[in-house]
Structure 1
Amino acid sequence: MNINLLRASSALALLLSQSALADEVIDLGEIIISGGLTPVEESKYGRASTVITSEELAERGISSVQDALRSVPGIMVNGSGDSFTQVRIRGGEANHTLILIDGVEATGGDREYILSGLDTANIERIEVLRGPQSAFYGSNASTGVINIITKTGNVGTEYSTSVEYGSGGVRGSARVSTRTERGGISFSLAHENDRGFDISGDGGEKDGIRRNTLQFKGDYLVTDQLKLGFNFRKSNEAYESDSNSNSATNAAQYVVDDTAPFSDRDEQLAQVYAELDTLGGRLKHRLSFERTDYDQSFSGFAPTETKTEAAKYLLSFGLDGQPADSANHLLNALAEWEEDSSSSNAAFNRETKSLALEYRGSFANGFNIQLGARRDNNSVFEDATTWNASASYTFQNSGIRLHTSAGTGIANPSYFELFANNTYSSSWGTSTYIGNPNLKPEENRSFDIGVEVPFLQERGSIDVTYFRETLTNEIESYYSHTDATLGDVYNYRNQAGDSERKGFEVAANLEASEKVDLRLSYTHLDATNPNGSVEVRRPEHELLLSATVQSFYGRGAITTDIRHVSGNWDTQFFGSYATAELPSYTTVDVAARYDLTDNVVLTGRITNLFDKEYSDVWGYAKRGRAIYVGLESTF
């Protein structure tokens, strides 16, 4: 069979299956779609997780995914300007976070997904799972998963548009969807022209971002037992940055204001899936095929083209005789094939064949358990086995919920680390990098335990989680020798020793009155290298305080977010090349909404209200105060 056709029909199956779960089982707000091989009820889920809904995004005036993630406990979002933003979970490496869009890998090949320009306009919810998820998602879900789930629309025909203009730029979006009880389709467009700011901090040439996204998705219940679906998404992005000075002696000199560096990026993902119910729904089958293409070029050079293709078959069986969607005892089994490639190493492909099992049990006394295991057979490096176990218990009288989890996750070696044979010349001299095909995947071991406590007649709740994670076999480059022709030669190896990360997360919310809602998110992190030195770009303290006040006689709301970051260390690539602590900072954002009519909303927001100068990376400035006004309509 043609593999592309097979992938297409498979992806269609998967989307259909997810839609069926949402339509037939539980309200979307009560499940975590990404929580296992199939969706999990939030109250029964033992792992630490956060769900950001479209309502919260709109209420807080959040326009980008990277800004949305800054409010999640356990998440560190930082980078050199808005065009190169990395996400770390619980102090892990940036490439240890798996980012999905509608369940499909956002980036192809071995690339780490860089958040920039990803708009929230057509997003239904963002699910963040903290702790290793490789037992369900494979490589790169070593410290957690972020699944960005886009809107499909309700029964009937819907139209929605938005436009926003401000000192930072302009963005707009449009979506149309039509659905019946048996399925539907949706089509959306989003455009952003962020004029940017000078990331060197000198107040010179602005470094902007321009991004366009198109998405087309649908599903249909062919029979009462068979559903088919598809999803296609395409984005193109262009962004600018600044150069670095080799002779800099301080942070102000390191980033040079110029017009030289720029990048073009093309992203494309496709999925087709099918889901079949048998034995009265007790036995479910899901077949999906997925493909992600991710091409990126820098400063006009030929793009590096990366690709990931996957075929998945999932079987779900209700062990207690109930339909799989509602069974108290459920067995899931997954067979998966995945292959990725990169034009940077065209002679090498990485292929993985995987088997995974998951058991979920819910007991009458409020106890829930989830167990998972996975075996990855890799074609070019060492095979890997990962596991996952979690449990939760809810006290029926008080509503207090205990939750705990443990498990392992992996991150595969990159093409460059495996196969590099590259020589570079610069004003610093000549360097050559030689890959090591005998590398092992990096492995993360994790444990967490927490308690969620409702209070004030369930008008509020607080969830506190302690976590501890250990990274082993971390891949590092090291100086090998100097060659007359090759210059300084560097090789790759699995690092000896462990990188330790521990801390705690707090998430709280309170309906203080009928008009006032309060939210709190806090993370304390202690992350160290095997030699005891501090890990860079992992703040020790991150705090978010948020308040929403219903106003304008019930026709609108005002939200204020206060964010504080301290204890963030980074390497200075200038002077003595020391690792030093960045200054702590506090920023304030304000957003407002007002219902002009039942269908049209006036929006406004101010980011960095007090024009605070701050940085997450030595030498790179962050955006100052920016003011925006917009309109949203839904019919």
Structure 2
Amino acid sequence: MRVQKGLVMGLLVVLLGTAAAVNAGAQDQAEAVSLGDVVVTATRTPTPEGAVGVSHTVITEEEIQARQAADVAELLRDVAGITLVRQGSQGAQSVIFPRGGENNFTMVLIDGVQVNLGGGDFYWETLSTDNIERIEIIRGPQSALYGSDAIGGVIQIFTKSGYGPPSVEVSTAHGARSENGNYLGEQHLRVSGGNDQMGFSVAYGRIDDGGALDINNDYWNNTLSARFDLFPKDNWEITLTGRLNDSRYEYPTESIGDKYSPLDPDQHEREMDTVVGLTTRVQATSWWENVASVGYHRNDREIDDPYNPETDFYAWNGEYEETRTTFDYHANLTFSPADPVSSVLTLGYEYERETYHQESTDFATTKLTADRTNDALYVQEQLSFFDRVHLVGGFRVEDNSAFGTEVSPRGSIAVDIRETGTKLRAAAGKGIKEPTFYENFADDAWTLGNEDLDPETAVSWEVGVDQRLWEDRVTIGLTYFESRYKDLIAYVPTPYPAPPVRTPNFFNVQEAESRGVELAVKVRAMENVTLGGSYTFLDTEVTDDGGLGSVAFKEGKDLIRRPSHAASGWIDWRWGGFRTFVKGLYVGERDDVYWRVAERVELDDYFVLDATVSYQVPAPAPIKDMEVFVKGSNILDEDYEEAFGFTAPGASFMAGLSFKL
């Protein structure tokens, strides 16, 4: 009944807004204003960067193209405050730690649709750059706007829209890995176009990688992405987006990696990920905008490990299916009570339903089926004075069928001193993360879930300054932050001898904290030369291990796999028809765990250098923008580990061709 009431309320508001828009007519439309560089994810409204009070990074289509990046994970490596860890070669499990938080502390959105698994997990290895226009990274808790899972930040992917005459873009690249000569391939195709009434952009991409290991390390990935925009009236737009990803990864490694265990010749994972979003925006009057959206995400995974006497004690197979369906409505109400004051008030409601099904087979078959629902109301006020001082405050109230009611507030301030090119900013907020389905509902021979778990929480604050120099040819961003993580969920072993009545194995008993400094610099040294870089200092500590004595989460010690120092630098140089992009990444020493002997180890620091060189080739009509390119990864063939026991890939090189029709 609660679901039906929420949907009916949302649909009524949308219908009222649409009717008002039709009656208002074109004469009541707000005058078009050019906002310049804007950020959408920080406030859910297009906001000029000078008015954004939270630390953020925007990766543009131009930057993606310059790097010839095939997957999003490689782009995130260079972002201040983010640590990315990949357990092996391309296709291996890849996770990020935002500002020292856990690897399930970042909400991921594709065109507004959340694609995390229930409980926050997201694996970056299968997300390609096909049809991506820009990526916005917002650091710090954002649960006031986005709810559970936005505990450490939000990363939103925006799909390209179509415009202009119909066009076709083609790219093909082929290469090999240095350690074994295994094949590398990337194929991309995009068709797009549009006019004043509609636009479309449809793309397909294929990635093939023979792997860095000699046994069972193949990976392939197919991605189909589409976006359709309709503009029935000047004040009404409808956007339909979809993304389908089908991938298969063969991995011979167990939990302790490939260096300290025999390699399994048959173990593999197959994954199918589906995302669909429908959004309508109606500018009912000059001051009232209605935004309604429906989102659907489904993830299907199968892990198959046939029995091999050299590596396995038994055969194992696991199938996982997770879905999330959401409905969101919010109104943006714009007011200017006085000339130097402007206000945007956002009022919203969101409904979410998650389902989970797991079936695994070893000696017996184990099944788990569960679902959760969530209703949320959120409010946000954006208040600006003299177009210089920008205040944002808001909160969200969630009613979750699993963890009950939670309130998440946040606030920020940005002071734009245009005369000196300086922006001062500060932000603070609370974030929450719901338990995973397994933590809530597990019921097998080894583990019993806890349906009374609270969400994990984070309280964070930051202060920063952004400085523009030399007629905006130099930009510098500096941020200091602190975060406190509480009610972290831990596995608590069943006591021995076991009690007569089973007790849950998961409890909110652990705490940690992190603090650090983030620096980002970009310099346009000459018209054809741009360079930049980032640096992160991170200090983490386990403040309460829950009395469990875990080697991976030990009181007074650093959180594992988080380096104290990380830096990246790049240069983009164009001359004539040539373009060269060179990027270096340094990751400092960090703790990890050798699970076979349950001991902490220290991973060495490493430096990886990548480079791309392209050349614009004159081509006869109808071919245009023809380009040949060569790109190399880890061109110095650095020997390193991102996770203990897992071999990181050595040097690899590819050559390719791209053009438009």
TM-score (norm: length of structure 2): 0.86
1:107·1:267 contact (CA, 8 Å) conserved in 2? no
Specify whether residues 321 and 172 from structure 1 end up closer, same or farther in structure 2 by C-alpha distance, changes over 3 A only: farther
Is structure 2 residue 594 aligned with structure 1 residue 572? yes
2:341·2:385 contact (CA, 8 Å) conserved in 1? no
Q: Which residue number in structure 1 is paired with residue 364 of structure 2?
A: none
Q: Which residue number in structure 2 is paired with residue 20 of structure 1?
A: none
Amino acid at match of 2:240: F
Amino acid at match of 2:456: E
Is structure 2 residue 596 aligned with structure 1 residue 591? no
SS in 2 for 1:462: strand
Amino acid at match of 1:532: G
CA shift, 1:512, in A, is 1.5
CA shift, 1:515, in A, is 2.7
Amino acid at match of 2:556: G
Amino acid at match of 1:367: V
Is structure 2 residue 642 aligned with structure 1 residue 623? no
Which structure is higher in RCO with an 8 Å CA cutoff and minimum separation 6?
1
CA shift, 1:347, in A, is 4.5
Q: Which residue number in structure 2 is paired with residue 278 of structure 1?
A: 284
Q: Which residue number in structure 1 is paired with residue 298 of structure 2?
A: 293
Specify whether residues 437 and 26 from structure 1 end up closer, same or farther in structure 2 by C-alpha distance, changes over 3 A only: farther
Q: Out of 138, 150, 166, which is 1:141 matched to?
A: 150
Is structure 2 residue 562 aligned with structure 1 residue 538? yes
Specify whether residues 602 and 339 from structure 1 end up closer, same or farther in structure 2 by C-alpha distance, changes over 3 A only: same
CA shift, 1:125, in A, is 0.8
Q: Which residue number in structure 1 is paired with residue 24 of structure 2?
A: none
Q: Out of 78, 94, 97, which is 2:106 matched to?
A: 97
Q: Which residue number in structure 2 is paired with residue 602 of structure 1?
A: 628
Amino acid at match of 2:654: Y
Q: Distance in 2 between matches of 1:538 and 1:422?
A: 33
Q: Which residue number in structure 1 is paired with residue 136 of structure 2?
A: 127
Range that drifts further, 267-276 or 345-354: 345-354
Q: After superposition, where does 1:409-424 map in structure 2 within 5 Å?
A: 409-423=431-445
Q: Which residue number in structure 2 is paired with residue 388 of structure 1?
A: 410
CA shift, 1:24, in A, is 8.9
Unaligned runs of 5+ in 1: 18-22, 199-203, 424-431
Specify whether residues 25 and 260 from structure 1 end up closer, same or farther in structure 2 by C-alpha distance, changes over 3 A only: farther
Q: After superposition, where does 1:147-162 map in structure 2 within 5 Å?
A: 147-162=156-171
Q: Distance in 2 between matches of 1:321 and 1:63?
A: 48
Q: Distance in 1 between matches of 2:223 and 2:122?
A: 16
Describe the superposition over 1:61-80 as per-residue Cα deviations: whole angstroms up to 9, x where unpaired. Answer: 32211100001000110031
2:216·2:252 contact (CA, 8 Å) conserved in 1? no
1:462·1:509 contact (CA, 8 Å) conserved in 2? yes
CA shift, 1:100, in A, is 1.3
Amino acid at match of 2:152: T
Q: Distance in 1 between matches of 2:482 and 2:297?
A: 33
SS in 2 for 1:319: strand
Amino acid at match of 2:215: E
Is structure 2 residue 585 aligned with structure 1 residue 563? yes
Is structure 2 residue 230 aligned with structure 1 residue 220? yes
CA shift, 1:217, in A, is 1.8
1:77·1:86 contact (CA, 8 Å) conserved in 2? yes
Is structure 2 residue 534 aligned with structure 1 residue 525? no
Q: Which residue number in structure 2 is paired with residue 318 of structure 1?
A: 334
Specify whether residues 185 and 631 from structure 1 end up closer, same or farther in structure 2 by C-alpha distance, changes over 3 A only: same
Describe the superposition over 1:456-478 as per-residue Cα deviations: whole angstroms up to 9, x where unpaired. Answer: 33211111100101101001111
Amino acid at match of 1:226: W
Q: After superposition, where does 1:391-540 map in structure 2 within 5 Å?
A: 391-423=413-445, 432-483=446-497, 491-496=505-510, 498-530=511-543, 531-540=555-564
SS in 1 for 2:223: strand
Identical-residue share of aligned pairs (%): 26
How many residues align structurally? 599
Q: Distance in 2 between matches of 1:63 and 1:131?
A: 27
Q: Which residue number in structure 1 is paired with residue 272 of structure 2?
A: 266
Specify whether residues 484 and 282 from structure 1 end up closer, same or farther in structure 2 by C-alpha distance, changes over 3 A only: closer
Q: Distance in 2 between matches of 1:206 and 1:57?
A: 30
Is structure 2 residue 77 aligned with structure 1 residue 67? no
Superposed structure 1 runs of 4+ greater than 3 Å apart: 23-29, 107-111, 483-490
Describe the superposition over 1:195-243 as per-residue Cα deviations: whole angstroms up to 9, x where unpaired. Answer: 2211xxxxx2151221111122212111233322211221111111123
Specify whether residues 379 and 29 from structure 1 end up closer, same or farther in structure 2 by C-alpha distance, changes over 3 A only: same
Unaligned runs of 5+ in 2: 19-29, 178-183, 306-316, 359-366, 544-554, 619-623
Specify whether residues 559 and 24 from structure 1 end up closer, same or farther in structure 2 by C-alpha distance, changes over 3 A only: farther
Q: Out of 46, 50, 53, which is 1:46 matched to?
A: 53
Q: Out of 78, 87, 91, which is 2:96 matched to?
A: 87
1:600·1:634 contact (CA, 8 Å) conserved in 2? yes
Specify whether residues 43 and 634 from structure 1 end up closer, same or farther in structure 2 by C-alpha distance, changes over 3 A only: farther
SS in 1 for 2:404: coil
